[in-house]
């Protein structure tokens, strides 16, 4: 018997697949849709919970690396099953400068769409997706819950997306 709490029935969505559209709360009175970010690369950082030590370190690292993500034209979004008020307190305490989206109700709906919901735990996997400007997954990674995946894979994926654009510009 396979444990489907670790991921969706087919595992996480894969490179080459179109990222599922979603709209989630960013604050108590603001929502953000994936379509709002179309036109530039997007990093979706699913994480299990605000306030856990590994999640705090991971989101803190991404906050430090944010200028590099932005230099590569990418927008970063954190997503967990915690609510907007929890996200607001966590973001303020950690001085985060990117949106945290609440995949809260229905619980884990977006994590399920991406194949990274842990139903037995009621949280998402620690999963990363890098999307190109058209919303196609170009890279993904699922880490064990207790391990911070770092930023190297994200940066490599963003560089790979940027490389064809740079070479096309050089030929023009």
Q: Which residues are catalytic?
A: 55
Q: 31: which strand partners?
A: 25
Helix axes 84-94, 53-71, angle to 10 degrees: 70
DSSP string, the chain: ---TTSS-TT-S--TTSBPPP-EEEEETTEEEEGGGGTTS-EEEEE-S-TT-HHHHHHHHHHHHHHHHHHHTT-EEEEEESS-HHHHHHHHHHHT--S-EEE-TTTTTHHHHHTT-EETTTTEE-EEEEEE-TTSBEEEEEEE-TTS---SHHHHHHHHHHHHHHHHHHHH-
């Amino acid at each position: 018997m396979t444990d489907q709490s670790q991921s969706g029935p087919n595992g996480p969505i894969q490179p080459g697949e179109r990222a599922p559209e979603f709209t989630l709360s960013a604050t108590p009175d603001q929502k953000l849709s994936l379509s709002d970010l179309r036109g530039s690369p997007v990093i979706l950082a699913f994480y299990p919970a605000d306030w856990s030590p590994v999640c705090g370190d991971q989101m803190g690292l991404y906050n430090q690396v944010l200028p590099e993500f932005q230099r590569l034209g990418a927008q970063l979004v954190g997503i967990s099953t915690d609510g907007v008020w929890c996200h607001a307190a966590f973001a303020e305490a950690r001085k985060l400068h990117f949106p945290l989206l609440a995949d809260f109700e229905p619980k884990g709906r977006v994590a399920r769409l991406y194949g990274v919901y842990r139903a037995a735990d009621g949280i998402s996997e620690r999963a990363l997706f890098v999307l190109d400007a058209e919303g196609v997954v170009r890279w993904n990674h699922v880490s064990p819950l207790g391990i911070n995946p770092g930023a190297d894979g994200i940066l490599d994926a963003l560089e790979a997306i940027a490389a064809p654009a740079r070479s096309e510009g050089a030929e023009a």
